[in-house]
């Protein structure tokens, strides 16, 4: 949405919070609202959260499955085939480890790409198509 279109939506409004709510209702992204009003992203987010326009993303409670895997003499982790298939982990292709306070989370390439694209669409919608094109043009092993 152009700045002129956002001006039309917010005409006559004095309070920034009122403008934030109106622009959000018109489908303007949080980042674009922040830039347009020259306020922090967090300010926009808090206004929308307090107004009920958005809710905090709470991870759904999921039942954790504990799986025993083995390591070989080189320290390589040997994952059961059913897990490799379930999570799209291809032998020889890189996997990613998220390091946390209490341990590691292993992520396959396909899942990592989905997470990156979701984040790009939420935080940089105007760049999401370019990021997707760049990521999909990379060789699968690279």
In this prediction, residue 142 carries a pLDDT of: 47
Lowest mean pLDDT among 28-37, 38-47, 114-123: 114-123
Q: CA–CA separation, 26 vs 43, rounded Å?
A: 18
In this prediction, residue 46 carries a pLDDT of: 92
- Beta-carbon contacts of 35 under 8 Å, excluding residues fewer than 6 positions away, are none
Residue 24 CA neighbour count, 13 Å, CB half: 20
In this prediction, residue 60 has a pLDDT band, given cuts at 50, 70 and 90, of low
Domain extents for the chain? 3-51, 62-142
In this prediction, residue 43 carries a pLDDT of: 93
In this prediction, residue 57 has a pLDDT band, given cuts at 50, 70 and 90, of confident
CB 22 within 8 A of CB 13: yes
SS3 70: strand
- Pick the residue with more confidence: 16 or 125? 16
Q: Region 75-89: what's the mean pLDDT? A: 87
- Pick the residue with more confidence: 138 or 115? 115
61 pLDDT higher than 70: no
- Pick the residue with more confidence: 132 or 44? 44
């Amino acid at each position: 949405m152009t700045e002129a279109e956002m001006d039309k939506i917010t005409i006559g409004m004095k309070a920034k919070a009122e403008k934030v709510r109106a622009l959000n209702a018109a489908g303007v992204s949080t980042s674009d609202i922040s830039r347009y009003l020259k306020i922090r992203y967090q300010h926009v987010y808090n206004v929308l959260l307090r107004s009920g326009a958005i809710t905090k993303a709470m991870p759904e409670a999921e039942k954790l499955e504990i799986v025993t895997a083995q390591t070989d003499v080189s320290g390589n982790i040997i994952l059961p085939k059913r897990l490799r298939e379930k999570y799209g982990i291809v032998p020889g292709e890189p996997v990613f480890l998220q390091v946390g306070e209490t341990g590691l989370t292993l992520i396959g390439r396909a899942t990592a790409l989905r997470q990156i694209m979701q984040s790009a669409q939420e935080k940089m919608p105007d760049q999401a198509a370019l990021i997707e094109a760049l990521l999909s043009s990379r060789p699968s092993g690279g």
